Structure 1
Amino acid sequence: MIWGQGTHFRRTTVWQMSGALFSLSWNGTEPAWLKRWRIQSGASGFRKSQPGRSGQEARGWGALIPPPLFPPEDPQADSSISPLPHLESKIQQTHSLARLLTKYAEQLLQEYVQHQGDPFGLPGFSPPRLPVADLSAPAPGHAGLPVPERLRLDEAALAALPPLLDVVRRRQAELNPRALRLLRRLEDAARQARALGAAVEAVLAALGAETRGPRPEPNAIAAATVTAGVFPAKVLGLRVCGLYREWVSRTEADLGQLAPGGPA
């Protein structure tokens, strides 16, 4: 602010409006756009701040700052709100995630087979179904179990998958170091399995079902894979990728029983 004899002063005031900073140059005449805004919004006029008063003391500008458009929500404000819509939303979101990961799991399996060479991918090739520590395929009677029990089995399998996928990725980094997309898919699959497992666990908690305690990571497969030959390691990796696809698909189907519009 500049004051002097015979000098026309010019004042620039900065204020905050709806989270953004605007700068207004004012020479004593209210701009037309500001007048229109003030009339439409119902805000009162502004007053000039006097020399020697700080901007905080010039309280006339407060009238130009509109209230927040969306006041903060208080989740405790209304205890009468039913938890049912929240539960349905959680189930639907988890079901959508499982559906998306089912597609990714199929892509991972195809990518894995493409980088293993013959006889993988050849018509009629049937690799041995090697046992995997702490993880097996969904049992034939899985679909006949109550939905909460099925989801508990899904969550347990999803919790066991990430360390197995990590072992497969490390072995493939040795066998196929240039297969960068495959390595990235394996890394993503481990992370996605953790995310889906946590989401299923949250659904179980919302349903009031008992959740599992801490579970040790399967270290047996790590030692077996490191000492195994190339072909057994490839077969074991194929088995893990196949189990990942089966359990993610199974989880999608089980959540579909609870999702709005699903079977009764």
Structure 2
Amino acid sequence: MEVLRVDHLAGIPSAHQEDDKEDKRQALRLVLLLKSESEGLVSEYLRFQGPPFSTPGFNSTAPVDGLPTPRDLPASLWKRLPLCLSAFTSLAGWFAAVLAWQKELNPGAVSLHRRLEASQQQARALCSSLAAILGQPVPGPPAAPAVSRVIAQKIAGYVACLSYVNWLTQTERDLALLVCETAV
């Protein structure tokens, strides 16, 4: 009978490592699914806002206080992922507010309402997935942002939708790197 030495077992992945890699793959698949589902979110949002929002080529880079944007991110993947988690937590709260505003401003935009509600739920699901990867508890829901003027609400809604799509793109890149770096 041959005795296996510990150094021979070092190359065999543990069940925990395999589960860890599968969690990361599932998170990446979720991001890819959400990214494809979010295509058209910004254009549908703009379509229901009226001019100048619905004018072809409309683009606003107006910053909105409290809304996370994926700019000036750290180089470290492990520093970016907690920022992604924080961003999606915040965006879930923003989508709740944008949905409430849109129900008041555009009560007939049922398809937009459904899409905003779905985006809110998807952001929450992504928070759970990222929190599991990071070994952190799922953050609680943030307080709903308060924006007073109608035009400011429309701009905030637009920027929230755009930010969601941008964070999905960033998170896709980060998770793809993470899956490639995970040993199994």
**What band does the TM-score fall into relative to the shorter chain?**
0.7 to 0.9
| Residue number in structure 2 paired with 1:110 | 43
Bigger share in strand: 1
Deviation at 1:126, TM superposition (A): 3.3
Counterpart Cα distance in 1 of 2:45 and 2:138: 33
Structure-1 residue corresponding to 2:174: 254
1:236 is matched with which residue: 156, 172, 178? Answer: 156
Q: Which residue of the partner structure matches residue 152 of structure 1?
A: 82
Task: Indicate the residue corresponding to 1:100 in structure 2.
Answer: 33
Q: 1:212 to 1:131 in 2, by over 3 A?
A: farther
CA distance in 1, matches of 2:48, 2:57: 18
Q: Rg larger in 1 or in 2?
A: 1
Which of the residues 115, 125, 137 maps onto 2:58?
125
Q: Give % identity.
A: 32
Contact 1:92 1:260 in 2 (8 A): no
Point out which structure has higher relative CO (alpha carbons under 8 A, 6+ apart): 2
Counterpart in 2 of 1:82? 15
Distance 1:131 1:95 in 2: 28
- Compared with structure 1, are the counterparts of its residues 112 and 131 closer, same or farther at alpha carbon in structure 2 (3 Å cutoff)? same
The CA distance in 1 between the partners of 2:178 and 2:40, in whole Å, is 26
Contact 1:88 1:260 survives alignment (8 Å): no
Gaps of 5+ in 2: 1-12
Runs of 4+ in 1 over 6 A off after TM superposition: none
Q: Which amino acid aligns with 1:136?
A: P
The superposition leaves residues 93-127 of structure 1 with CA deviations (integer Å, 9 ceiling, x where unpaired) of 10010011112222221210111121114245333
Distance 1:191 1:131 in 2: 22
Q: Does 1:217 align with 2:142?
A: yes
TM-score norm. by structure 2 comes to 0.82
Q: How many residues align?
A: 170
Distance in 2 (CA, whole Å) between partners of 1:235 and 1:246 is 16
Q: Which has the higher helix share?
A: 2
Measured after TM superposition, the shift of residue 167 of structure 1 is 0.6
Contact 1:128 1:235 in 2 (8 A): no
Q: Which residue of 2 aligns with 1:3?
A: none
TM-score normalised to the size of structure 1?
0.59
1:152 and 1:167 map into 2 onto residues whose CA distance is: 23
Corresponding residue for residue 32 of structure 1: none
The runs of 5 or more residues in structure 1 that have no matched partner are 1-79, 206-210
Give the Cα–Cα distance (whole angstroms) in 2 for the partners of residues 178 and 107 of structure 1: 19
The separation in 1 between residues aligned to 2:141 and 2:47, in whole angstroms, is: 32
> Aligned partners of 1:102, 1:83: CA distance in 2, in Å?
28
